[in-house]
Amino acid sequence: MTIQRPRGTRDFLPEDAWTRSTARKIMQGVLERWGYQEVSTPTFEHLELFTLKSGPSVIEEIYSFKDKGGRDLALRPELTAPVMRMYVNELQNVAKPLRLYYFGNCFRYERPQRGRFREFWQLGAEIIGGNKPDSEAEAIALVDQVLRNINISGEIHVGYLGIIRTILARIAPEHRPQVMRMIDKKERENLEAYLNEIGADGLGLRELINLKGKDALDKAFSIVEDLGAAEAPAPCVVSPGGAEPSHVTASPSSSERGRTARAGREVAAELGLDEFRQTIELLDSYGVNYTVDFEIVRGLEYYSGTVFEIYAHGLGAQRQICGGGTYELCRLFGGAETSSTGFGLGFDRIMEVIQLDAKRKAPAVLVYTPDVKKAAVRIAKDLRERIPLVIDVMGRGFGAQMKNAANLRAEYVILVGKNELDSGNLTLRDMKSGTQESLPLEEIAKRLAEKYSCA
RNA sequence: GCCGGGAUAGGGUAGUGGUUAUCCUGAGAGACUGUGGAUCUCUCGAGCUGGGUUCGAAUCCCGGUCCCGGCCCCA
């Protein structure tokens, strides 16, 4: 019996690995052109980093362990928390905004299924300390561009949490997590029944989450105007999984507590709905195709403004390939509060649907007669300064080397034997056409370098 | 954690309780020490695992592992 891979992990064979790294390079190219700098953090962190962000219930889904010094550690289940930890630890004093991106493997203890593994890769970006609408539009436009560059089309759904938080404030705190969960899970009937049961229908919540597409924003304004007529208690915070948050995030409007009966426009301003409108308008300027969708809530308390998700077609049950939004995490990790906008892309799900035009080019092959092996090795070493090239290490004869070169799908073969060494020119063979030319080494290197540069 | 379907050479597969477990592909050697993916010959290589039923199990039954699809969850 051979040793198997651990459950939920994968091997990437050469072809897969090439596709993955090619796609990653294309995506990183876009991020670099938008001025984002790559960062990288440890594969494991203190468990507390993740429970602080997502609540103690995440321990169930995390690979955690005690090390030999008795420390509680965890393989990272995501990368936003580590990156923000790094920011708080080491980058708080650099000029804002800070544009960072990351690519790395993450680990979750979950039941594997399509598009879900125990070791998976995330690529994401964070823009720290920017002006909210501008940052939000940039983040969404950026991820849109990243996906375009690898020929992935997805539906971008953009939502906004300000209004929902305000409506939730009119519901008793013990009911809030459940309501939020039902919205997130799109359980409409359950939600309706539950709202009736707790006497919270008529707050405009159902109307709000049904708003989709072009007119959604205007209609949201009118719902907010209706809200303005009623008393507006303090906005609330919802904790994940019903856990009690020990780290309540300050809401922008908490100082407004107690004020009553305001005009709708004022409420809208206070909720940042005008800011959301700016975000939307900037998205139009960027030329992004999106749908306004107030049903996107991303059930987590640290999201504070615009939130968005992207869904790909042809992926089965796990079709979300991107999630992001504006959040407040710095204070939670012991830093000065700074709002950030970011997104994470599920790299593996993207790899399930990606179609790349390019294919890996096979290296050139240097075929030699066994009597000139030592000279052939020196020539190969020179050529490798410029082009990918392999040489026989099996002790094969000339004919067998040719056969092997053909099997490798090599497009070019360089022939070296006594004739070549005597004449000072090498023979370059084009394997497709079968034509051969006698050329100096330098000329061959130059020609092939061109062929391989546009790979 | 739950439901359903699977697992046979490196990859893809056939077989139905009973001889030496099929076929394709792959890999290595040779025919062939200066010219190709062909051909021929030879070689390598397999019933996930542990129990049970049976004279006999790759085949039937049970447990486990892993894979696939879905549920739960999804930072």
Burial of A267: CB neighbours in 10 Å, binned 0-12, 13-18, 19+: buried
Asked if residue A28 keeps its beta carbon closer than 7 A to nucleic acid strand B, the reply is no
Nearest residue to nucleotide B28 when comparing alpha carbons to its C1'?
A: A394
pLDDT digits (tens, 9 = 90+) for A98-144: 999 999 999 999 989 888 999 999 999 999 999 899 999 999 999 99
Continuous segment of H or E residues that includes residue A114: none
Topology at the third CATH level for domain A364-453: Rossmann fold (3.40.50)
- Dist. CA A350–CA A372, nearest whole Å: 49
Asked if residue A399 keeps its beta carbon closer than 7 A to nucleic acid strand B, the reply is yes
pLDDT-based confidence at residue A1 (cuts at 50, 70, 90):
low
Region A280-307: what's the mean pLDDT? 90
Asked if residue A298 keeps its beta carbon closer than 7 A to nucleic acid strand B, the reply is yes
pLDDT digits (tens, 9 = 90+) for A359-372: 888 899 999 998 89
- Strand bridging mode A412-416 / A364-368: parallel
Asked if residue A296 keeps its beta carbon closer than 7 A to nucleic acid strand B, the reply is no
Asked if residue A316 keeps its beta carbon closer than 7 A to nucleic acid strand B, the reply is yes
* Domain spans of chain A, in order of start: 14-353, 364-453
pLDDT at position A256 over 50: no
- Dist. CA A431–CA A413, nearest whole Å: 7
Find all residues with CB under 8 Å of A303, minimum gap 6, and list them. A161, A325, A326, A327
Asked if residue A52 keeps its beta carbon closer than 7 A to nucleic acid strand B, the reply is no
pLDDT digits (tens, 9 = 90+) for A218-241: 888 888 887 766 554 444 444 443
Asked if residue A80 keeps its beta carbon closer than 7 A to nucleic acid strand B, the reply is yes
Q: How far is the CA of A1 from the C1' of B56 (A)?
A: 25
Instruction: Give the highest mean pLDDT range of A209-213, A313-317, A377-381, A392-396.
Output: A377-381
Say which DSSP state A259 is in: -
Handedness of CA A350, A353, A355, A359 (dihedral sign): positive
pLDDT at residue A265, rounded to an integer: 65
pLDDT at position A255 over 70: no
pLDDT-based confidence at residue A5 (cuts at 50, 70, 90):
confident
pLDDT at residue A259, rounded to an integer: 40
**Alpha helices, DSSP H only, in A247-309?**
264-271, 273-286
Q: How far is the CA of A146 from the C1' of B20 (A)?
A: 59
pLDDT at position A244 over 60: no
Q: List chain B nucleotides near protein: any atom < 7 Å from a Cβ.
A: 1-2, 27-30, 32-37, 48-49, 65-75
pLDDT digits (tens, 9 = 90+) for A169-192: 888 888 888 888 888 888 888 888
Topology at the third CATH level for domain A14-353: BirA Bifunctional Protein; domain 2 (3.30.930)
Q: How far is the CA of A1 from the C1' of B48 (A)?
A: 9
ipTM (interface pTM): 0.88
